[in-house]
Amino acid sequence: MGVDKKELKKFENSGLDFPHRKIVAIVELEDCLLLDEKLNKKIIAENNLVYGDKIRNGYAWKLKNIKKVNCSKEVNGKLGLWNIDFEEEKF
């Protein structure tokens, strides 16, 4: 899937800095939810700025304990979950 570039433009002037090819956060994955019609309507109504008004299919991750990190490790590939060895990395 990837990043919706049209939706990303909403955040161009928000002052957010997300480096390319870097891990930006450590999170706990709480749940993986099927994006059905009911959940799509709920998340669109809840925060249209973040989610936009596009109906999506597939799955959504419910995250908790989100911590922004400054990780020097470069990663290649698509958006996703990564396992990192905390002993090797300095956050």
**Domain annotation covers residue 75:** no
Confidence at residue 36, expressed as pLDDT on a 0 to 100 scale: 93
User: Is residue 63's pLDDT more than 80?
Assistant: yes
Q: What's the domain count of the chain? A: 1
Residue scoring higher pLDDT (60 or 14)? 60
Domain, as residue range, for 47 = 5-68
Confidence at residue 3, expressed as pLDDT on a 0 to 100 scale: 62
**Domain annotation covers residue 90:** no
Contacts of 69 by beta carbon, 8 Å cutoff, 6+ apart? 23, 24, 25, 26, 91
Do residues 73 and 89 make contact, with C-beta atoms less than 8 angstroms apart? yes
Report the predicted TM-score, pTM, of the whole model to 2 decimal places.
Answer: 0.61
Do residues 27 and 66 make contact, with C-beta atoms less than 8 angstroms apart? yes
**Domain annotation covers residue 36:** yes
- In this structure, how many other beta carbons lie within 10 angstroms of the beta carbon of residue 12? 8
* Angle value at C-alpha 68, between 39 and 31, nearest 5 degrees: 30
User: Is residue 1's pLDDT more than 60?
Assistant: no
Cα 1 to the chain's mean position, in Å? 12
Mean pLDDT value across residues 68-80: 75
